[in-house]
Amino acid sequence: MEEEPRKQRELNLVLLGRPGAGKGTFGIKLAALLDVPHISTGDLIREEMKKVSSMSRRIAEVVSKGKLLGDEEVFELLHSRLQAGAARGDKGFILDGFPRTVNQAIVLDKIADVHVAVNFAQEREVLIQKCLGRRVCGECGRVFSMADVSVGDLRMPAIPPPIQCLDKMVTRKDDSEQSIQKRLQVYDEESKPVEDFYRKQGKLVNFDVRGGVSESWPKLLQALNLVEEQQRSSSRTPPPAIPTVWC
């Protein structure tokens, strides 16, 4: 009898951490590994900002100043995203940038079971350099880093875009020095208590991001007990096609 493929472990994760700590980068990788949606409230808000309305203009003003949107507005956007996902049959989630206030964490606890809260930590100077060097492809939406970060003995190499994205790079309006400083301050005041919220529940995993993505990813998998998932997933991935032209 053929052996049933072992089911992927279903995990609901929330990703905490200051701006630039790596929530988005690692969130996308974790979502692909666990086959769950990566839901970033920052992305949902930026989508909303593209609309032409008085509400989108007001949201853009709040975001560009580095402040948080009101809980109610964020719940509304997140709720519609979760509903759309449920209708498609989504299972589990990686929530990136939510919850950012204790009130958001309390509301989330009422509607879903959070299994693990990963808290990405990085030095303040590194975060500032990373946010200042962050660029987004205006077409495909992928995020790159133009900064070769070097602080003390820490080195984080730039992640340059591929050639097809090169002339479409845009800088997020809230990645100005002033807005970054404000977001760091807002994190300490409003979002830091969320770490305690999950620590008290025994769900907090602190992860120090020390180095580039390729260096940190295996350590993150270990910290989250996901090494086996990665091995299973690599064995399912077909080998790359043999290129006919070497370049």
Ligand X SMILES: Nc1ncnc2c1ncn2[C@@H]1O[C@H](COP(=O)(O)OP(=O)(O)O)[C@@H](O)[C@H]1O
Binding site for ligand X (CB under 6 A): 19-20, 40-42, 45, 62-63, 66-69, 74, 97-98, 100, 104, 174, 183
> Please, how many CA atoms are within 13 Å of residue 40, restricted to the half-sphere of its CB?
16
A 10 A CB-CB count for 57 gives: 11
Identify the active-site residue in 18, 130, 134, 135: 134
Active site (annotated) includes residue 130: no
Residue 8 or 146 having the CB closest to ligand X = 146
Active site (annotated) includes residue 81: no
Q: What residues contact residue 183 under an 8 Å CB cut-off, 6+ apart?
A: 18, 19, 66, 174
Q: Min. distance of Cβ 125 from ligand X in angstroms?
A: 16
Active site (annotated) includes residue 173: no
Active site (annotated) includes residue 183: yes
Residue 19 or 133 having the CB closest to ligand X = 19
Identify the active-site residue in 29, 81, 100, 135: 100
Q: Min. distance of Cβ 2 from ligand X in angstroms?
A: 44
- Preceding amide of 99 cis, omega within 30: yes
Active site (annotated) includes residue 23: yes
Residue 41 or 129 having the CB closest to ligand X = 41
Identify the active-site residue in 65, 172, 192, 203: 172
> Helix 71-88 to helix 41-49 angle, to the nearest 10 degrees?
100
Residue 51 or 232 having the CB closest to ligand X = 51
Listed residue (92, 76, 86, 87) closest to 37, CA to CA = 92
Listed residue (199, 14, 37) closest to 99, CA to CA = 14
Identify the active-site residue in 18, 23, 29, 130: 23
Q: What residues contact residue 172 under an 8 Å CB cut-off, 6+ apart?
A: 46, 134, 136
Comparing every residue's Cβ against ligand X, the nearest one is: 42
Catalytic sites, residue numbers: 23, 100, 134, 172, 183
